[in-house]
Amino acid sequence: MPHNSLLAKRYTLSKLRRKSKKFLIDADSPRSLFDILKKYGHDAVHVRDLMGSASDEEIFRYANKNSYIIITRDLGFAETFLKNKGFGLFLIRLPYYFTSDRIARVFDEFLDGVDVGRLIGFITVIELGRFRIRKL
């Protein structure tokens, strides 16, 4: 690691960019996830901003074509991914009474402890205090 603080900053940013992934946040998931993904150096877009009221099939095709990991609370995506081998899926399985802030905190804790690059090609189920991984 370089000793100069400017070089160290550049080294860290380039390291983040190499590990950066693209995420498509489904309409049923809070927009606050966008800021958390950015905090960890990832690119993110919300479905409503990109595709309006697209169907699950349209979202799935777009995500796979453009190498996006989908973040959703919709169990239907898991079924689609198992049948069609998607690029990646983060399935948020938290109680529906959780506020968007609480979901964001759980998601932040999850990202803080995981190497997202190792979850490509998997369904990752995010629950309170743990996560499970299922190969596609």
CATH number of residue 80's parent domain: 3.40.50
Q: What is the pTM of this model?
A: 0.82
pLDDT digits (tens, 9 = 90+) for 71-124: 999 988 888 888 888 889 999 999 989 999 999 999 999 999 888 888 888 999
Could you tell me if residue 8 is inside a domain? no
Domain count, the chain: 1
In three-state secondary structure terms, 88 is coil
Whether the CB-CB separation of 136 and 119 falls below 8 Å is answered with: no
Structure tokens at 17: 């960019």
Domain that holds residue 117: 19-135
Could you tell me if residue 49 is inside a domain? yes
pLDDT digits (tens, 9 = 90+) for 38-53: 999 999 999 999 887 8
In three-state secondary structure terms, 36 is helix
pLDDT digits (tens, 9 = 90+) for 98-111: 999 999 999 999 99
- Which residues have CB under 8 Å from 117's CB, separation 6+? 19, 21
pLDDT of residue 84: 85
Could you tell me if residue 123 is inside a domain? yes
Could you tell me if residue 127 is inside a domain? yes
